Protein backbone atom coordinates (compact mmCIF):
# COMPACT_ATOMS: atom_id res chain seq x y z
CA UNK A 1 0.00 0.00 0.00
CA UNK A 2 1.27 3.44 -0.92
CA UNK A 3 -0.26 6.75 0.17
CA UNK A 4 0.56 10.00 -1.58
CA UNK A 5 -0.38 13.38 -0.13
CA UNK A 6 -0.43 16.63 -2.08
CA UNK A 7 -1.80 20.13 -1.71
CA UNK A 8 -4.87 20.27 -3.95
CA UNK A 9 -6.04 23.83 -3.39
CA UNK A 10 -7.10 26.46 -0.90
CA UNK A 11 -10.59 27.05 0.49
CA UNK A 12 -12.34 30.43 0.19
CA UNK A 13 -11.33 31.17 3.79
CA UNK A 14 -7.69 30.28 3.19
CA UNK A 15 -7.49 26.70 4.49
CA UNK A 16 -5.29 24.22 2.68
CA UNK A 17 -7.10 21.36 0.93
CA UNK A 18 -5.19 18.09 0.69
CA UNK A 19 -5.67 15.21 -1.71
CA UNK A 20 -4.61 11.69 -0.71
CA UNK A 21 -4.11 8.83 -3.16
CA UNK A 22 -4.10 5.30 -1.74
CA UNK A 23 -2.87 2.62 -4.16
CA UNK A 24 -2.91 -1.08 -3.40
CA UNK A 25 -0.68 -3.90 -4.66
CA UNK A 26 -2.76 -4.43 -7.82
CA UNK A 27 -2.74 -0.75 -8.79
CA UNK A 28 -6.37 -0.07 -7.82
CA UNK A 29 -6.68 3.25 -6.03
CA UNK A 30 -8.81 5.57 -3.94
CA UNK A 31 -8.53 9.34 -3.65
CA UNK A 32 -9.70 11.27 -0.60
CA UNK A 33 -9.75 14.99 0.14
CA UNK A 34 -10.08 17.15 3.21
CA UNK A 35 -13.26 18.95 2.09
CA UNK A 36 -15.92 17.04 3.98
CA UNK A 37 -13.55 14.07 4.40
CA UNK A 38 -14.63 13.21 0.86
CA UNK A 39 -14.06 10.19 -1.33
CA UNK A 40 -12.99 11.77 -4.64
CA UNK A 41 -12.37 8.69 -6.78
CA UNK A 42 -12.34 4.88 -6.63
CA UNK A 43 -10.49 3.21 -9.50
CA UNK A 44 -11.19 -0.53 -9.65
CA UNK A 45 -11.00 -3.15 -12.42
CA UNK A 46 -13.86 -4.39 -14.57
CA UNK A 47 -14.30 -8.02 -15.65
CA UNK A 48 -11.54 -7.55 -18.25
CA UNK A 49 -9.15 -6.03 -15.71
CA UNK A 50 -9.53 -2.46 -16.96
CA UNK A 51 -9.40 0.20 -14.27
CA UNK A 52 -12.01 2.95 -14.20
CA UNK A 53 -13.32 5.49 -11.71
CA UNK A 54 -16.69 4.31 -10.38
CA UNK A 55 -17.87 7.33 -8.36
CA UNK A 56 -18.99 10.77 -9.42
CA UNK A 57 -17.02 13.84 -8.37
CA UNK A 58 -15.31 16.99 -9.57
CA UNK A 59 -11.87 17.97 -10.89
CA UNK A 60 -11.87 21.27 -8.97
CA UNK A 61 -11.66 21.02 -5.15
CA UNK A 62 -13.69 24.22 -4.75
CA UNK A 63 -16.64 22.50 -6.42
CA UNK A 64 -16.94 20.25 -3.36
CA UNK A 65 -18.16 23.20 -1.29
CA UNK A 66 -21.97 23.48 -1.17
CA UNK A 67 -22.52 21.15 -4.13
CA UNK A 68 -26.12 19.98 -4.24
CA UNK A 69 -25.38 16.23 -4.31
CA UNK A 70 -23.01 16.27 -1.28
CA UNK A 71 -20.82 14.08 -3.47
CA UNK A 72 -18.59 11.62 -1.61
CA UNK A 73 -18.59 13.64 1.60
CA UNK A 74 -19.41 13.05 5.27
CA UNK A 75 -22.47 15.14 6.18
CA UNK A 76 -23.15 16.13 9.77
CA UNK A 77 -23.73 16.70 12.53
CA UNK A 78 -26.86 14.82 11.47
CA UNK A 79 -27.02 13.14 8.06
CA UNK A 80 -30.46 13.12 6.42
CA UNK A 81 -33.47 15.10 7.64
CA UNK A 82 -34.77 16.43 10.95
CA UNK A 83 -38.39 17.60 10.75
CA UNK A 84 -38.93 21.35 10.93
CA UNK A 85 -35.33 21.74 12.12
CA UNK A 86 -36.29 21.01 15.72
CA UNK A 87 -35.72 18.34 18.32
CA UNK A 88 -35.95 18.09 22.09
CA UNK A 89 -33.25 16.48 24.23
CA UNK A 90 -33.47 16.23 28.01
CA UNK A 91 -36.39 18.67 27.98
CA UNK A 92 -34.58 21.36 25.99
CA UNK A 93 -35.71 22.23 22.46
CA UNK A 94 -33.02 22.93 19.89
CA UNK A 95 -33.56 24.82 16.64
CA UNK A 96 -31.52 24.04 13.53
CA UNK A 97 -31.17 25.78 10.14
CA UNK A 98 -33.89 24.97 7.58
CA UNK A 99 -32.33 24.10 4.22
CA UNK A 100 -34.55 21.46 2.59
CA UNK A 101 -38.16 22.54 2.19
CA UNK A 102 -39.41 22.95 5.77
CA UNK A 103 -36.72 20.65 7.18
CA UNK A 104 -33.09 20.47 8.26
CA UNK A 105 -30.87 18.33 6.00
CA UNK A 106 -27.31 17.05 6.49
CA UNK A 107 -26.46 19.45 9.30
CA UNK A 108 -27.60 22.53 7.41
CA UNK A 109 -25.89 24.67 4.76
CA UNK A 110 -22.67 24.82 6.76
CA UNK A 111 -22.65 21.16 7.75
CA UNK A 112 -19.57 18.97 8.12
CA UNK A 113 -19.63 18.28 4.36
CA UNK A 114 -18.79 21.92 3.63
CA UNK A 115 -15.90 22.20 6.09
CA UNK A 116 -12.19 21.57 5.61
CA UNK A 117 -11.27 18.76 8.00
CA UNK A 118 -7.84 18.34 9.59
CA UNK A 119 -6.10 15.36 8.00
CA UNK A 120 -3.10 13.08 8.34
CA UNK A 121 -1.62 9.78 7.19
CA UNK A 122 -1.90 7.28 10.03
CA UNK A 123 0.04 4.13 9.15
CA UNK A 124 -1.80 2.51 6.24
CA UNK A 125 -4.82 4.78 6.76
CA UNK A 126 -5.88 8.36 6.16
CA UNK A 127 -7.67 10.06 9.03
CA UNK A 128 -9.78 13.22 8.94
CA UNK A 129 -10.88 15.13 12.05
CA UNK A 130 -13.44 17.88 12.50
CA UNK A 131 -14.20 19.81 15.70
CA UNK A 132 -17.78 21.08 15.86
CA UNK A 133 -18.28 23.78 18.47
CA UNK A 134 -21.09 23.88 20.99
CA UNK A 135 -24.03 25.65 19.31
CA UNK A 136 -22.72 25.18 15.77
CA UNK A 137 -25.81 24.91 13.52
CA UNK A 138 -27.85 24.87 16.73
CA UNK A 139 -26.53 21.54 18.05
CA UNK A 140 -25.53 21.22 21.70
CA UNK A 141 -22.03 20.26 22.82
CA UNK A 142 -18.52 20.46 21.50
CA UNK A 143 -18.09 17.41 19.27
CA UNK A 144 -15.01 15.77 17.78
CA UNK A 145 -15.73 13.68 14.66
CA UNK A 146 -13.17 11.37 13.02
CA UNK A 147 -13.35 9.65 9.62
CA UNK A 148 -10.74 6.88 9.32
CA UNK A 149 -10.26 5.32 5.86
CA UNK A 150 -8.30 2.20 4.89
CA UNK A 151 -7.89 0.69 1.40
CA UNK A 152 -7.03 -2.99 1.14
CA UNK A 153 -5.37 -5.20 -1.47
CA UNK A 154 -8.71 -6.99 -1.99
CA UNK A 155 -10.22 -3.69 -3.26
CA UNK A 156 -12.27 -2.99 -0.14
CA UNK A 157 -12.54 0.51 1.28
CA UNK A 158 -13.34 0.74 4.99
CA UNK A 159 -14.57 3.84 6.79
CA UNK A 160 -14.77 4.01 10.57
CA UNK A 161 -16.70 7.03 11.86
CA UNK A 162 -16.29 8.04 15.50
CA UNK A 163 -17.48 10.97 17.58
CA UNK A 164 -17.33 12.20 21.16
CA UNK A 165 -19.07 15.16 22.81
CA UNK A 166 -18.93 17.05 26.09
CA UNK A 167 -22.72 17.55 26.36
CA UNK A 168 -25.69 15.38 25.44
CA UNK A 169 -26.27 15.76 21.70
CA UNK A 170 -27.41 13.85 18.62
CA UNK A 171 -25.20 12.56 15.83
CA UNK A 172 -25.72 10.61 12.60
CA UNK A 173 -22.77 10.23 10.24
CA UNK A 174 -22.40 8.50 6.88
CA UNK A 175 -20.65 8.96 3.57
CA UNK A 176 -22.68 10.29 0.64
CA UNK A 177 -20.69 8.65 -2.16
CA UNK A 178 -22.47 7.96 -5.47
CA UNK A 179 -21.70 4.90 -7.57
CA UNK A 180 -21.76 4.14 -11.27
CA UNK A 181 -20.02 0.80 -11.68
CA UNK A 182 -19.72 1.23 -15.45
CA UNK A 183 -17.63 4.38 -14.93
CA UNK A 184 -18.42 7.82 -13.57
CA UNK A 185 -19.08 9.37 -16.99
CA UNK A 186 -20.97 6.44 -18.52
CA UNK A 187 -24.53 7.68 -18.07
CA UNK A 188 -27.58 6.29 -16.30
CA UNK A 189 -27.47 3.66 -13.53
CA UNK A 190 -31.11 2.70 -14.00
CA UNK A 191 -29.87 -0.48 -15.70
CA UNK A 192 -27.68 -1.42 -12.70
CA UNK A 193 -29.05 -4.23 -10.52
CA UNK A 194 -29.53 -3.51 -6.81
CA UNK A 195 -30.24 -5.87 -3.95
CA UNK A 196 -31.03 -4.75 -0.40
CA UNK A 197 -30.93 -6.79 2.78
CA UNK A 198 -34.08 -4.98 3.85
CA UNK A 199 -37.62 -6.28 4.08
CA UNK A 200 -38.98 -3.03 5.58
CA UNK A 201 -38.81 0.65 4.65
CA UNK A 202 -39.98 3.96 6.09
CA UNK A 203 -42.85 5.70 4.27
CA UNK A 204 -42.61 9.50 4.42
CA UNK A 205 -44.69 12.61 4.07
CA UNK A 206 -44.27 14.86 1.03
CA UNK A 207 -41.19 16.48 2.59
CA UNK A 208 -39.44 13.09 3.02
CA UNK A 209 -39.90 12.95 6.80
CA UNK A 210 -40.79 9.42 7.97
CA UNK A 211 -44.39 9.05 9.09
CA UNK A 212 -43.52 6.59 11.85
CA UNK A 213 -43.69 2.81 11.77
CA UNK A 214 -41.90 0.87 9.01
CA UNK A 215 -43.83 -1.08 6.41
CA UNK A 216 -43.04 -4.25 4.50
CA UNK A 217 -41.55 -3.80 1.05
CA UNK A 218 -43.24 -6.94 -0.27
CA UNK A 219 -45.66 -6.24 -3.10
CA UNK A 220 -44.39 -2.67 -3.61
CA UNK A 221 -41.81 -0.99 -5.87
CA UNK A 222 -39.64 -0.66 -2.75
CA UNK A 223 -38.87 -4.38 -2.81
CA UNK A 224 -35.18 -5.04 -3.58
CA UNK A 225 -34.94 -8.20 -1.48
CA UNK A 226 -34.29 -9.99 -4.76
CA UNK A 227 -31.92 -8.19 -7.09
CA UNK A 228 -33.61 -6.09 -9.79
CA UNK A 229 -32.74 -3.23 -12.10
CA UNK A 230 -32.95 0.11 -10.32
CA UNK A 231 -35.12 1.49 -13.10
CA UNK A 232 -37.55 -1.41 -13.31
CA UNK A 233 -40.17 0.18 -11.03
CA UNK A 234 -38.88 3.75 -10.71
CA UNK A 235 -41.74 5.13 -12.84
CA UNK A 236 -44.41 3.12 -11.02
CA UNK A 237 -47.50 4.91 -9.73
CA UNK A 238 -46.48 4.93 -6.09
CA UNK A 239 -46.49 7.87 -3.64
CA UNK A 240 -42.86 7.61 -2.53
CA UNK A 241 -41.54 7.54 -6.09
CA UNK A 242 -43.63 10.55 -7.05
CA UNK A 243 -42.49 12.53 -4.00
CA UNK A 244 -38.80 11.89 -4.63
CA UNK A 245 -38.82 11.76 -8.44
CA UNK A 246 -37.26 8.35 -7.89
CA UNK A 247 -35.91 6.54 -4.85
CA UNK A 248 -34.91 8.68 -1.88
CA UNK A 249 -35.95 6.39 0.93
CA UNK A 250 -34.71 4.72 4.08
CA UNK A 251 -34.64 0.93 4.35
CA UNK A 252 -34.13 -0.98 7.62
CA UNK A 253 -31.36 -3.55 7.42
CA UNK A 254 -32.58 -7.02 8.34
CA UNK A 255 -30.83 -8.44 11.39
CA UNK A 256 -28.87 -5.26 12.10
CA UNK A 257 -27.15 -5.48 15.49
CA UNK A 258 -25.30 -2.53 17.06
CA UNK A 259 -21.55 -2.91 16.70
CA UNK A 260 -21.73 -5.83 14.28
CA UNK A 261 -21.25 -5.75 10.52
CA UNK A 262 -24.25 -6.71 8.40
CA UNK A 263 -24.70 -6.73 4.66
CA UNK A 264 -26.71 -3.72 3.55
CA UNK A 265 -26.65 -3.87 -0.24
CA UNK A 266 -25.20 -5.31 -3.40
CA UNK A 267 -24.88 -3.46 -6.71
CA UNK A 268 -24.01 -4.82 -10.15
CA UNK A 269 -22.82 -2.75 -13.11
CA UNK A 270 -24.85 -3.24 -16.26
CA UNK A 271 -21.90 -3.57 -18.66
CA UNK A 272 -18.63 -3.65 -16.74
CA UNK A 273 -19.01 -6.82 -14.71
CA UNK A 274 -18.13 -4.85 -11.58
CA UNK A 275 -19.86 -5.81 -8.34
CA UNK A 276 -20.12 -3.89 -5.06
CA UNK A 277 -21.05 -5.29 -1.65
CA UNK A 278 -21.80 -2.79 1.13
CA UNK A 279 -21.41 -3.85 4.77
CA UNK A 280 -22.14 -1.71 7.81
CA UNK A 281 -22.78 -1.57 11.55
CA UNK A 282 -25.53 1.01 10.93
CA UNK A 283 -29.24 0.05 11.28
CA UNK A 284 -30.49 1.53 8.00
CA UNK A 285 -29.57 2.51 4.48
CA UNK A 286 -30.88 5.45 2.45
CA UNK A 287 -31.11 4.76 -1.27
CA UNK A 288 -30.97 7.89 -3.42
CA UNK A 289 -30.98 7.41 -7.18
CA UNK A 290 -29.44 10.79 -8.04
CA UNK A 291 -32.83 12.25 -8.89
CA UNK A 292 -31.52 15.84 -8.93
CA UNK A 293 -27.94 15.48 -10.19
CA UNK A 294 -28.53 17.67 -13.25
CA UNK A 295 -27.02 21.09 -12.75
CA UNK A 296 -24.34 20.04 -10.27
CA UNK A 297 -20.66 20.86 -11.02
CA UNK A 298 -19.18 19.26 -14.15
CA UNK A 299 -17.68 15.87 -13.47
CA UNK A 300 -14.11 14.60 -13.49
CA UNK A 301 -14.42 13.32 -17.04
CA UNK A 302 -15.54 16.73 -18.32
CA UNK A 303 -19.12 15.53 -18.67
CA UNK A 304 -22.09 17.25 -17.06
CA UNK A 305 -24.00 14.78 -14.92
CA UNK A 306 -27.65 14.07 -15.56
CA UNK A 307 -30.34 12.82 -13.19
CA UNK A 308 -29.94 9.09 -12.38
CA UNK A 309 -26.28 8.97 -13.46
CA UNK A 310 -25.29 7.44 -10.11
CA UNK A 311 -26.81 5.93 -6.98
CA UNK A 312 -26.01 6.75 -3.35
CA UNK A 313 -26.14 3.91 -0.82
CA UNK A 314 -25.99 5.79 2.49
CA UNK A 315 -25.55 3.60 5.58
CA UNK A 316 -26.88 5.55 8.54
CA UNK A 317 -29.44 5.87 11.30
CA UNK A 318 -33.01 6.72 10.36
CA UNK A 319 -34.12 10.21 9.31
CA UNK A 320 -35.71 12.30 12.08
CA UNK A 321 -34.68 9.84 14.80
CA UNK A 322 -34.35 12.62 17.42
CA UNK A 323 -38.12 13.10 17.07
CA UNK A 324 -38.96 9.38 16.76
CA UNK A 325 -38.35 7.61 20.10
CA UNK A 326 -39.19 4.22 18.57
CA UNK A 327 -36.24 4.46 16.14
CA UNK A 328 -32.70 3.41 17.14
CA UNK A 329 -31.31 6.21 19.27
CA UNK A 330 -28.93 8.81 17.85
CA UNK A 331 -28.19 10.38 21.23
CA UNK A 332 -24.56 10.73 22.27
CA UNK A 333 -23.66 11.57 25.85
CA UNK A 334 -20.43 12.62 27.55
CA UNK A 335 -18.17 9.64 28.14
CA UNK A 336 -19.72 7.66 25.29
CA UNK A 337 -18.10 7.00 21.92
CA UNK A 338 -20.17 6.99 18.74
CA UNK A 339 -18.62 4.44 16.39
CA UNK A 340 -19.96 3.07 13.11
CA UNK A 341 -18.30 1.33 10.18
CA UNK A 342 -18.99 1.06 6.44
CA UNK A 343 -17.16 -1.26 4.04
CA UNK A 344 -17.40 -1.00 0.27
CA UNK A 345 -16.05 -4.25 -1.20
CA UNK A 346 -15.44 -4.27 -4.96
CA UNK A 347 -15.14 -7.39 -7.09
CA UNK A 348 -16.20 -8.69 -10.51
CA UNK A 349 -19.04 -11.00 -11.37
CA UNK A 350 -18.34 -14.73 -11.22
**3-state secondary structure string across the chain:** CEEEEEEEEECCCCCEEEEEEEECCCCCEEEEECECCEEEEEEEECCCCCEEECECCCCCHHHHCCCCCCCCCCCCCECCEEHHHEEEECCEEEECCCCECCEEECCCCCCHHHCECEEEEECCEEEEEEEECCCHHHCCCCEEEEEEEEECCCCEEEEEEEEEECCCEECECCCCCEECCCCCCCCCCCCCEEEECCCEECCECCCCCECCCCEECCCCCCCCCCCEECCCCCCCCCHHHHHHCCCEEEEECCCCCCCCCEEEEEEECCCCCEEEEEEECCCEEEEECCCCCCCCCCCCCCCCCCCCCCEEEEEECCCCHHHCCCCCCCEECCCCCEEEEEEEEEEECC
Q: Which of 176, 192, 275, 317 is catalytic?
A: 176
229 as an active site residue: the answer is no
176 as an active site residue: the answer is yes
Q: Which of 136, 263, 314, 340 is catalytic?
A: 314
Cite the active site residues. Answer: 176, 314
Amino acid sequence: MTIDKKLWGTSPDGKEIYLYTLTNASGASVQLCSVGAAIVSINVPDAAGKLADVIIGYPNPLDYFADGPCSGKVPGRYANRIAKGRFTLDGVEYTLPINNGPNHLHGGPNGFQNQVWDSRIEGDAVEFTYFSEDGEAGYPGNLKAVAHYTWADDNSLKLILTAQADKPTVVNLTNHVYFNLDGEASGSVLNHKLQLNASQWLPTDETLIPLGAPEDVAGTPMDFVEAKEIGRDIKAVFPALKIGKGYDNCFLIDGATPGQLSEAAQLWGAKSGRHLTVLTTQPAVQIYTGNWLKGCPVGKGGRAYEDYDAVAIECQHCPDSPNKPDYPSTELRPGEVYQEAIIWAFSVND
